[in-house]
Amino acid sequence: MRPAHSHATACAPTDTMNDRAPLTDDAIAFIREQAFLIVATADAAGNSDCSYRGRQPRADGSFEPLVDMPDRRTLVLPDFAGNNLFNTIGNLLVNPAIALLFVDFVRQTTWLVQGRATIDEDAQSRVHLWPDARRYVVVEVAHAQARADAALPPLVLA
């Protein structure tokens, strides 16, 4: 038996959220600083999947960008070779709802970004940002919401 509140519903934008689309300057600055995100998707039946996505290191010791934000309505994340289960990509092919959670443990703040995703199979379209990406998830942002949460433990990334 599946819970009444499925993840497919949780990924879909709701009327109760602050409408921050297009992305604000604060959201863009916060997201650009983050080292990782959690991506949430669901299949056609509403069964959810959450995955960690982190920055990829470059040969010089710097890191590739976590995401690209070509405009205030679009967020792009790379898809690299992984476990070959294709949970995120497979889910998005049947259900384009997506949620991205950016967590800053130092500031005890999160940004939740929700929208609809498409898959860009042209691996060369953003090779200048992510040389090893196989494809890209392009998110049309519907909502973005910040939350400062005292329940989030104050941690410092090593």
Per-residue pLDDT tens digits for 18-42: 444 469 999 999 999 999 999 999 9
Q: How confident is the model at residue 153 (pLDDT cuts 50, 70, 90)?
A: confident
Q: Which CATH number covers residue 142?
A: 2.30.110.10
pLDDT reported for residue 150: 65
Residue 70 placed within a domain: yes
Residue 104 placed within a domain: yes
pLDDT reported for residue 85: 66
Counted domains in the chain: 1
Residue 102 placed within a domain: yes
pLDDT reported for residue 157: 66
Residue 155 placed within a domain: no
Residue 153 placed within a domain: no
- Give me the chain's average pLDDT, please: 86
pLDDT reported for residue 6: 43
DSSP labels, 90-139: HHHHH--EEEEEEEETTTTEEEEEEEEEEEE--TTTTTTT-TT-SEEEEE
Mean local confidence (pLDDT), 7-11: 46
Residue 113 placed within a domain: yes
Residue 2 placed within a domain: no
Residue 95 placed within a domain: yes
Domain of residue 124 covers 7-14+21-146
pTM: 0.83
pLDDT reported for residue 149: 73
**């300057």: which residue's tokens?**
25
